[in-house]
Every structure is written in C-alpha cells, then in structure tokens.
Structure 1
Amino acid sequence: MTTESLYLMGAHEIRVRLGGISRQRVYQITRHKDFPTPVARLAAGDVWLADDVEAWIKQKRPHEYDVE
C-alpha cells in the first residue's frame, strides 16, 4: 500500500509563513479572488494545499519567498 502525504495550511500557518501578520490581514488575503481556493472548510476554518499557498506567495509576494 502506498501512502501519499498531503500538506495543508490553515490561517495560522499562513500567518506564520507571511511573517506573523495579523489574523485580520490573513482573512483579507485569503478572501482575494486570486488566492487559492480552500480544499476543505472545517469547523476550525478553511484549509489550503500548502503547495498552492507557496505558489501564490512565490508569485504575489516574491520578497517573502523563503528559498532554502
């Protein structure tokens, strides 16, 4: 049996990834029409594929793209 890992980000992870921006700012960013669509809506909030969020950051905020 093969198992594929699925990496997800919630609002908190996006907040941390973007340098500790406010919850309100995360809400504004994730509601933009050019932000990736959430893959699920949970009671705790929306979740996105981490790869989609990273691609958005690389395209829209290249100064914050962390190349390691």
Structure 2
Amino acid sequence: MGKLRLVASQEVQEMLGVSRTRAYQITNSKTFPDPVAVLSVGRIWRTEDVERWIKDHRPDLHDPAQ
C-alpha cells in the first residue's frame, strides 16, 4: 500500500491555480470529491481524488508527466 497523501484547501488552490474564493467554489461543487476529514484547519482531501478530478474536469491543468 502506498503512502497516504493528503491536501488541504491551500494545496487545492495551488493545484488548480485559482484564487482562494474560486477554490472554495470549486471544492463545494457537487462534482468535487468529498473530503476525507474535516479538521479545525479545514477540509482535507486525498491527493489522488483531487488529481483525478482535475484530470476529468480541468484537462488543461492535467500534467501526464506527474
């Protein structure tokens, strides 16, 4: 089993290359993966889930080399 990789809102914002407000809108959309946890620092997602969402919904941001 691989290492569990997690991201918070700030990392999602950076992965998408959008503002904090836009990242909030995207992460609240019905198509965005559900967070795996909600902590005092905010919502947490599995990196793989976010990367898959970017590949499916924002192919212009998907880098197959990564």
* TM-score, scaled relative to structure 2: 0.91
Aligned-pair distance for 1:6?
0.7
**Number of aligned positions between the proteins:** 65
2:15 corresponds in structure 1 to: 17
Q: Match of 1:48, SS?
A: strand
The separation in 1 between residues aligned to 2:64 and 2:58, in whole angstroms, is: 13
The answer to whether residue 63 in structure 2 is matched with residue 66 in structure 1 is: yes
RMSD (Å) for aligned C-alpha atoms: 1.2
In structure 1, the gaps of 5 or more residues are none
Structure 1 runs (4+) greater than 6 angstroms displaced: none
1:43 and 1:4 map into 2 onto residues whose CA distance is 26
Identical residues among aligned pairs (%) = 46
Higher gyration radius (CA): 1
- Provide the residue aligned with 2:45 in structure 1: 48
